[in-house]
Amino acid sequence: MFSLLPFLLPRLSIRQVLLTPDGITIQADVKSASAPCPDCGRRSRRRHSHYHRTLADLPLQDRVARLQVLVRRFRCDTPGCRRRIFAERLPDIAVVRARRTTRLANSQRQIGLSLGGEPGARLAVRLAMPISGDTLLRLIRTAPLASHPPPRVIGIDDWAWRRGHRYGSIICDLERRRIVDLLPDRTVETVRSWLAGRTGITVIARDRAGTYAQAATTACPHAMQVADRWHLMENASAALLDAVQRSMRQIRDALGTTSFDPALLTSAERRQHEGFLRRAAADRAIHHLAGSGVPIKEIVRRTGYSRKVVRAVVRGGRTDVFRVRASMLDAFVPRLNAEWDGGCRNGAELWRRLRATGFTGALRVVSEWATRRRRAESAPGMLPRKPPPARTLARLLSHQRDRLSMADARLVAVVEDAVPRAAGRGVIGQALPGHASHEDGGARELAHGRQRKFACGVCRGHRCRPRRGHSCDHRTMVERSNRRADQQGEAAETTDVWPRGPRSSASPAHRRMTA
């Protein structure tokens, strides 16, 4: 019978293949009659003894495979050689003292580089290559570092070792689209020490944070610093979304989604509407006190609300509008409308037909829908409608008008008439991708309301861009405003990129990201 095992293991002679309940065991011998001494290199034929060496190997037919090799011990006859007895080596199969073949170790190492420790271990078990998460991390540490030419155009930004607790810096080669290094923190000293020994860097792309600007200016004064487009677009999108969220009350009024007949509400929606009315009355009282010059602390004392709530109401951050909550019936409304238009007006019959399509709700839910639909036909247009989300409106406002559908274009036109400020910010958001090639007058248009801080940062960054033949003063770049106090740079005493010694450069996370 033809077998592929001799081709897969050319240096071994297969003696027997055993099928066991827990896998496959391949028993083999080494073909060569002699072996070289690992110290002097002289080959010897004088056998001393032998032992069986068991190695984990790549799976066969989804079964765990083990390779059991008869390893011989030889005597070294070289005068003066310190090693009198040695065991033959298996250089093409496994390294010294290893318990797995080289090809299995390479496969498991690639799984670890892709998934990490525990996730990689779970996948390896499914692939019949069982290994623990800790062993996978040890294999990752032994992975050789690939050699790459020094980068010329780099990008530097924050990244989380552990989100919300510990942050570092990630450096990427923007020409080759690969990660160059991971720094343990975001301090000026750490970034400066990394940049100091790399004189070939000509362009540094970064965000508008002052830490990276200071480090790049002192360590690479010859390099051109570029404001990263992603950060500008992300900040502009956040500013536009903030403007739309603060204008949602006016937008909902303009779209007519707040006009309805309270008599058509269900009992649960009626209780929800009563709570909305109480919150609206409280908001009016807070606005009245704030308009009279009463400070926030005194408003908190008089109304009994928390400082956070009062501040949100005064600054326009609480735009509470009554809207119908999501229901488990929403996914089946098209089917209900079709049955209703087909002549079925009985709630129980509608419920039975809906259950045949996978609906698991109670009869009361469908009956209430049928009652509301029956009442709405006598007073059309007086049921509360679901308004479009603020994120959807911000996306439509940032699109080019000629690329919108007819319905979306009408919606945007209504919003532009109702809230011209939000519409104006949307126009600015459309122009931001080309901001680097234009004057900063457009960015100045944003400098009102809640977007003043973002606009000032963009203007400072634009003034910071050096003209041809001139140096750049990056001290005008400002710190990003949304960075929390607990995410600031770490201790200033850190003077080395890896202060804990060479082992940190071979950490599993570093190997995975830079492999």
Q: Is residue 83 part of a domain?
A: yes
pLDDT at position 453 is 58
Per DSSP, the residues of 291-340 read HTT--HHHHHHHH---HHHHHHHHTT-------PPP-TTGGGHHHHHHHH
- How high is the pLDDT of residue 131? 92
Are 262 and 270 contacting, i.e. CB atoms less than 8 angstroms apart? yes
The reply to whether 256 falls in a domain is no
Residues 9 and 110 in one domain: yes
Q: Indicate if 351 and 457 belong to the same structural domain.
A: no
Cβ 476 vs Cβ 465: under 8 Å: no
Residue 468 belongs to a domain: no
If asked whether residues 164 and 126 sit together in one domain, one would say no
Show the domain range for 43. Answer: 5-141
Residues 26 and 58 reside in one and the same domain: yes
333 plus 393 within the same structural domain = no
Give the integer Cα–Cα distance in Å for 321 and 258: 8
Residue type, 460: R
**Phi/psi at 136 (5° precision):** -60, -40
Cβ atoms of residues 24 and 33 within 8 Å: no
If we measure between CA atoms, which residue out of 320, 322, 324 comes closest to residue 309? Answer: 320
Q: Is residue 399 located within the same domain as residue 453?
A: yes
9 and 131 belong to one structural domain: yes
Count the neighbouring beta carbons within 10 Å of the beta carbon of residue 451.
Answer: 23
Separation CA 68–CA 453 (nearest Å): 69
Domain end point (choices 378, 399, 423): 378
Q: Are 505 and 498 in contact (CB under 8 A)?
A: yes
Give, to the nearest 10 degrees, the angle between helix 118-126 and helix 133-141: 110
The total of structural domains in the chain comes to 4
Q: Is 270 a member of any domain?
A: yes
Using the 3D structure, point to which of 94, 109, 141 is the last residue of a domain: 141
Q: What is the pLDDT of residue 212?
A: 87
Name residues whose C-beta falls within 8 Å of residue 77's C-beta, 6 or more positions apart in sequence.
Answer: 42, 44, 46
Assigned domain for 227 exists = no
Q: Is residue 272 assigned to a domain?
A: yes
**What distance in Å separates the CA atoms of residue 513 and residue 470, rounded to the nearest whole number?**
37
Give the closest residue to 177 by CA, choosing from 151, 202, 158. Answer: 151
Q: Which residues of the chain have pLDDT under 50?
A: 1-2, 381-384, 427-428, 431-450, 463-505
Q: Based on the domain organization, do 335 and 282 belong to the same domain?
A: yes
Domain termination residue (choose one: 323, 356, 378): 378
pLDDT on residue 72? 92
Same domain for 134 and 20?
Answer: yes
3 state DSSP class of 26: strand
Report the half-sphere exposure of 201 (CA within 13 A, side-chain side): 26
Residues 477, 458 share a domain:
no
Q: Are residues 496 and 455 in the same domain?
A: no
Round to whole Å and give the CA distance between 402 and 421: 20
Residues 107 and 157 in one domain: no
CA 349 and chain centroid, separation: 47
Query: Does 214 map to a domain?
Result: yes
Chain centroid offset of residue 241 CA: 20
Q: Are 77 and 40 in contact (CB under 8 A)?
A: no
Backbone angles phi, psi at 407, to 5 degrees: -65, -45
One-letter-per-residue 3-state SS of 229-286 = HHHHHHHHHHHHHHHHHHCHHHHHHHHCCCCCCHHHCCHHHHHHHHHHHHHHHHHHHH
With respect to residue 409, please indicate whether it lies within any of the assigned structural domains: yes
